[in-house]
Amino acid sequence: MGVTIAETLLGLLEAAPRHGYDLRRDYEHSFGERRPIKPAQVYATLGRLSRDGAIHVVSVEQVGGPERTTYALTPDGVTRLERWFAEPEGHTPYLQSVVFTKLILALRSGRPAGRVLHAQRTAHVASMRELIRRKSGADLTTVLACDFTIFHLEADLRWLEHTAARLDRLALELA
């Protein structure tokens, strides 16, 4: 199923009823760096969750500004969230990655496929350096999020090296 805004908002609502503004702020604080969210996405998603019975409106108040609607999780919302937590995430094979597609197309066109791998490696190393820098002095949530990405980048780098060593053979097979 993957990360969805709906399930993330349900998870943020689980502790207590909240305003859409507070949900967006908490989302941005915890997840926004990797996956930004627009206010319209929050409110559209809350509308769908309400329509589907996963949340309900607790109150609507207006204090000198825009209306603030407070939402709470329903039992159906808790069930949906529990199902999402229990469902393992699928594996995305390299056969479907953009890098793999670029590599194959570069080889088929006679372009230097090594440049694709080199560019990707350079970008990954730069990303890893930035993530390592971010971890310095960060809270544990940030450190763990950075580590998750760093470990995936490390695996990607191994694949890039493995593939670079086999480019000539791959070019022959595609010819």
pLDDT at site 3: 55
Regarding whether 78 and 47 lie in a shared domain, the answer is yes
Regarding whether 168 and 147 lie in a shared domain, the answer is yes
Regarding whether 127 and 70 lie in a shared domain, the answer is no
pLDDT at site 147: 96
Number of domains into which the chain is organized: 2
pLDDT at site 36: 79
Cα 24 from Cα 38, distance rounded (Å): 8
Per-position pLDDT tens, the chain of length 175:
445 889 889 988 988 999 998 999 988 887 776 677 888 999 999 999 999 999 999 999 887 888 889 999 999 999 998 888 887 766 666 545 778 878 888 888 888 889 989 999 999 999 999 999 999 999 999 999 999 999 999 999 999 999 999 999 999 988 8
Write the burial class of residue 54 (CB in 10 Å: 0-12 exposed, 13-18 middle, 19+ buried).
Answer: buried
pLDDT at site 2: 46
Regarding whether 132 and 107 lie in a shared domain, the answer is yes
Displacement of CA 65 from its chain's centroid (Å): 33
Regarding whether 82 and 37 lie in a shared domain, the answer is yes
Which residue range(s) make up the domain with 115? 94-174
Regarding whether 121 and 49 lie in a shared domain, the answer is no
Expressed in angstroms, the distance from the first to the final Cα of the chain is: 38
Regarding whether 70 and 18 lie in a shared domain, the answer is yes
Among the three residues 86, 108, 138, which one is the final residue of a domain in this structure? 86
Decide: 49 and 6 in contact? Cβ < 8 Å. yes
Regarding whether 65 and 14 lie in a shared domain, the answer is yes
Regarding whether 19 and 47 lie in a shared domain, the answer is yes
Regarding whether 104 and 70 lie in a shared domain, the answer is no
